[in-house]
Each structure stands twice: as C-alpha cells, then as structure tokens.
Amino acid sequence: MVTSVLPTAIKPRSPKGGFANEPFTDFKNPDNARRMQAALNLVAAELGREYDLIIGGHRLRTEGKIRSLNPARPAQIVGIHQKAGAEHAGQAMQAALEAFESWSRTSVETRVSLLLNVGEILRQRKFEFCAWLTYEVGKNWAEADADVAETIDFCEFYAREALRLAQSQTPIQLPGERNELLYIPLGVGAVIPPWNFPLAIMAGMTLASIVTGNTVILKPSSDSPTIAAKFVEVLEEAGMPGGVVNFCPGSGATFGNAIVEHPKTRFVAFTGSKAVGLEIHERAAKTQPGQIWIKRTVLEMGGKDSILVCADADLDAAVEGVVAAAFGFNGQKCSACSRAIIEAPIYDVFVERLRERVAKLAVGDPAENKNMGPVINKAAMDSILGYIETGKKEGRLIAGGHAIENANGGYLIEPTVIADIAPNAVIAQEEIFGPVLAVIKVADFDEGMQVANNTEYGLTGAIYTADRERLNHARREFHVGNLYLNRKCTGAMVGAHPFGGFNMSGTDSKGGGPDYLLLFTQAKSVAEKL
C-alpha cells in the first residue's frame, strides 16, 4: 500500500534565526492587487477539476462524489472529490500504520525540513492559495491572505518548536545516572478540520502531528476539500513520503465516525461545532476491542465571544474593533465578536456610531474584494436568518436583518446588529456563526463582567477601557482562553497569541503556542546507571 516511507526526497533545511510572523500583503499596492487578480484568473481555469483520495501514496476513486461549490456563485463547482466511506477507514489506517513505522524513526531534523520546505512553497505561491480560499469558502483578499500567512507561520513555528522539544532535558541529573526525557510520537491520528480556516487550521493540526513523528488520516470539511487537496499536493512536492498524510474526504457520519472509533486511532484533532466535538469526544472515549490505549482528543469547538466597552473607552477605537471582530469573514470565526456589552452612559451614542459604521460595509463577491462575502452554504444561511428573526423579537433591529438577493445566487446576508438584547436571550447565548451582533446594555463594569462570563463558552473576549484597575480585573476574572485589552477579539497571531478556549470552547489546546506539540507526543523518562 505505501509507496515510500523513506524521506530521501526531503531536502535538508534548518531554521534561520528566530521565529517571525509572515508579513501580511498590502493589497492597496497596485502590484499586489494585479498579482492577486492574476492568481484568481489562474485558479479559475482549474475550477471543477476532480481530485482523488490519497491512501498510502496511491490515488483512488469512488462512486460517491463530493462537489465543493463557490458560496458566492453556487452554480460554480470548485472541485469534485471522492467520497471515502467506512470501507476506506481500514485501508487508510493500515497505510498510516505502515508509514508510522518509518516516519516515527526519522530524525527530527528531517521532519523539520519537510515543514520548512512546505512553508517556502506556500510563500512562493501565496497569491494562488489566496485565490483558492476566495473561490472555495468566500474569503476576501485580506482574510485569505491572513489564512495563508498563518499557515506559513505554523510551518516555521512548529519546526522550531519540534527542535526545542527534541532538546528537552530532565530538571535534575542524579549522581551516577544519565537521565533523559524523550518526547515520542503517539501513533496514527485523525485530523478533522473546519471549513472556515480551511488552510491554516487544517494545516496547523496536520503539521503539528507529523513534525512530532505521527502519521495522519486527514478528513477535510466537505465544504472545503479542494484547499486541503492542494495542501497535500504541496506536502508531496516538499518530499513527504507516502502514507504520512492520507487524504480522505468523506461523510462525518460514515468515514469520520469509523476513523474516530477505530481501535488503532491514537488521537483525534478536531476543530468545529460544539455538538460534533462532544460527539467525537464521546466516541473516542469508548474503548474498542483490541484497543490498548486511551485515545487523546484535541478539541476546539467554538465560542460566544464578547467585547465589553466601558464608559471611559476610546469610542472610535471600540467601534472599529467591534465591527472588525463581528463582521470580518462575515462573522464565521469561532473568535468573532457576537456580543457587544456596553455600559449605560455611552450606550446610545455607541449604538448610533455602530449603525453608521456598519452601513459603510460593502457586501458582495469576494473575488471583487468586498468587505463581506457569502456565508458558507444554504443551510448556514437559513440557520442565520432564523436566528435573525428570533433576534428581531428579542431586541431592536439597528442594521441589516435580511438576505441580499443577487444575480449569482450567492449566500449573502446583510451585516446585522440587534440592540437592547437581554443577557440570557437566545441570540446572546447560542453560537450563530454569521454576521449577527447582539448589543447588550449594562449598568456598570461589574455587571458587564458578569454578562461577559454568562455563557457556556470561553474562547475569546476583549475589553475597552482606560482604567488600569479594570484591565487588571479582567486579566483575572474574564474567563476566556484568549483575552484582548483595548483591541478586537479576533486575529490571533502564531507565537504571540496561543489560541484555544475554556469550558465548551474546547480543551484549551493553545494552537500556535509553546505547549501545542506536547499534545501530539508522550513523554518517556530514561535513566541509565553509569
């Protein structure tokens, strides 16, 4: 099954200098705008191509197909993919197990070289990957660029972290002994990424798995399999041996469940909804016949994130931060601001300024680089519109509130703001995952903090205030995994903002941080008597 497990194709590379985040592209620069348009034209010529399953380095086709559509133009097929079923789970597992025997024993330097090669290829093809993100999930140019840049960051950061982990030492060396602490790979993992960051999150979980010596069965979202397929092509170009990453789009209810439940699966890395994450956690917790370990789950499941604006805040900065966090990528981020909590003395003026700012947002085809594009599919649009109708009954509609009819049939929704929402209202508690912002009035800072902490989630949050004591109080009491002071609650940067949340937001996995690779390893203590 496995074509090659020897990493002879990997060109040795080592990190140069310390880690630095990949710069964002300035699309106001005419040359960059031209390059992006050229990439859109290039990728447009590839739309509708068919992609194979890749198991053990072999290409396979199935009767069932997954058709990925452009959400801005649903009649346009982005990619046609094979649909892995439960019958393919055993094949993929066997290929991954065979590859693990060799890949787990390759040097960390070899695995690091693979990541660095991948990062360099992505850097050279950044505009092309931006274009794929625009077509397949509806990201505008800046959102797509940030997704690609984060992926490059993961390549560079996890490469350096793998080298650091390989050099770990025990805190104490006992006299007369040589003491070692080795971080060894777990085995075969299932990587199940979301559609909203279909390159960065998919790649981040995959790269962390393989740089630590594991092998992977990758089941991308059915809304974004083409981007994952293009990434696997880059892995192969960079020198990845067959079987290290097995590309298997498929149904979560069939192939996904079969992989999660397989007795040889050692870990599951998942990002997505709370409901699916909890189901995966439950399925993984059940010991299967022949299973000899406790499966590890690395889960990031969403949020209901708040920005608290105090009466002494810089109102202009707060309005900009709330709008950017609420409506960036149409609110389709687990870190998005879906609740603006405003102190009473500034409530009315804040709501009015918010209405004025939202009115300036342009919604349309992201290929034309509008502020906002489509939501991911019709089911999402219907769900979001249902929440908007609920919100209209729970509060006062300030902006938006409707779908936008368009000639292309794109899933466009107006940026929607609903004020006078009670802290326990439906749209103040349930994750909507769309361009809908609930505005909540509170009497003072203490009430604001109580409301900020009143959901079952705990992913991101922010506070705008000039009061140092309040900032320090928020540091202690605002119960989220990623807290931002006097800035928006989205836009976590690799290295600077390790990302992951509390409570029903997941296992606080802290992607892009110094602890993340530990989740894909197990520590082995070795003591030798001298």
- Cβ atoms 158, 115 nearer than 8 A: yes
Q: What is the crossing angle of helices 347-358 and 315-327, to 10°? A: 50
Three-class DSSP category at 184: strand
Residue 164 neighbours by CB under 8 Å, 6+ apart:
514
Tokens of 220: 């991308």
Show the DSSP H helices in 359-456 as ranges.
378-394, 426-429, 445-452
Neighbours of 101 (CB within 10 A): 12
Question: What is the C-alpha separation between 479 and 162, in angstroms, rounded?
Answer: 30
Q: In the sheet where 53-55 sits, what is the strand order?
A: 58-60, 53-55, 245-247, 215-218, 188-192, 265-271, 296-300
What is the rounded radius of gyration, in angstroms, for the C-alpha atoms of the chain? 23
Question: For residue 61, what are its two tokens?
Answer: 């086709």
The DSSP-derived string for 461-481 is: EEEE-S-HHHHHHHHHH---S
| Distance, CA of 36 to CA of 474 (rounded, Å) | 41
Complete DSSP assignment for 190-221: EEE--SSSTTHHHHHHHHHHHHTT-EEEE---
Looking at the DSSP bridge assignments, the partners of residue 297 are 268
Q: Would you please indicate which residues are annotated as catalytic (active-site) residues?
A: 300, 334
Burial group, residue 95, by CB count within 10 angstroms (0-12, 13-18, 19+): buried
